[in-house]
Structure 1
């Protein structure tokens, strides 16, 4: 019997995935509406444009805002729907196979890598902080951390026993690790954009 089969359903993780998925979906949907509004009314400021620094328009109209040839928020609509589905599935009693958790983790790794690219682009190239984008960042980061550490703890990710126990124990520290990531992003934004001066 695999360790994932022996492990009880991760109800707290499932609840968080539903929450994160809903928040991320709302943010992606809002960005999609802003993109459509910009196409219908070119040159009109987006509803989430608050200053030169805090705005959505520059991000949405940039080449990076359509990295794969279509608006990035559409990726969020699909991706966060999947996150919600996994969370709801676990709450409904589903016990996913090891390969499923591994693929889900891989998808979140891709999402994190994409978010890291967008963070660096936003801070170092566009010089803006998109409010709805930051909401997406804020849920993608902990979703990846939580699922990865759960998978380590459950034995989905094969690691030597001592390392698995050490990293598995860090699962309970997901909020703290997430906060550290937020602080790193905030420091990068402050050092590059001098955010405090605009407050």
Structure 2
């Protein structure tokens, strides 16, 4: 018998999902618009190209920018709608079945793993930092942490009581976990690309 579900109306999570979804969608839209601009104007550069280090063009034009045969931002245009819808639904007192949360968590896990891979490709292979890509990283990472901890603490995923209590305790530390993650990315970028040297 599955454990009883708790935290059936996580308001803070709902609000964050709406905010993160809107920011992520706008970043994906902006990157998609830049991609269309580059296709319509061969040889031009994107408006988010600020230097050889901070730019979008190299990322969009690379094979890493179209891993599945189409520009990656299209994934964001479709995918970021889900957190927005889920967030508003929670505010409207909707309750989702366990399978729905499992699928939502699976989607966010894919997004998180994909973003980590893209971060590695950007820093260690392409040698660039795409501004709109970084916006996507900034919202994907805490969103994954928050939803994962929620499904654990709420009993939506099978987990021992100790893990549920741990997830409950960590939920308030999601902002710090995100900041630590950003710091690790920044250190890796600095060590590999000498970001500060390039900027100053």
State the TM-score, normalizing by the size of structure 1: 0.97
Please state if 1:3 is matched with 2:4: yes
TM-aligned CA deviation for residue 156 of structure 1: 1.1
Q: Quote the offset at 1:2 in angstroms.
A: 5.1
Instruction: Write out the 4+ residue segments of structure 1 that deviate beyond 6 Å after TM superposition.
Output: none
Give the deviation of 1:56 after TM superposition. Answer: 0.1
CA RMSD after TM alignment: 1.1
Residues 1:46 and 2:46 are matched in the alignment: yes
Unpaired segments ≥5 residues, structure 2: none
Q: Offset of 1:127 from its aligned partner? A: 0.1
Aligned-partner SS, 2:175 = helix
Per-residue CA deviation, residues 106-141 of structure 1 (Å, 9 max, x unaligned), is 100000011011100000000000000000010000
Matches of 2:113 and 2:44 in 1, distance apart? 31
Q: Which has the higher helix share?
A: 1
d(CA) in 2 for partners of 1:8, 1:24: 25
CA distance in 2, matches of 1:3, 1:140: 28
**Number of matched pairs:** 198
Q: Structure 1 unaligned runs (5+)? A: none
State the match for 1:129 in structure 2.
129
Q: Report what 2:180 is aligned to.
A: 180
Query: 1:29-178, aligned counterparts within 5 Å?
Result: 29-178=29-178
Distance 2:17 2:180 in 1: 20
Deviations 1:72-94 (A, max 9, x none): 00000000011111111111111
Stretch of structure 1 that moved more, 122-131 or 148-157: 148-157
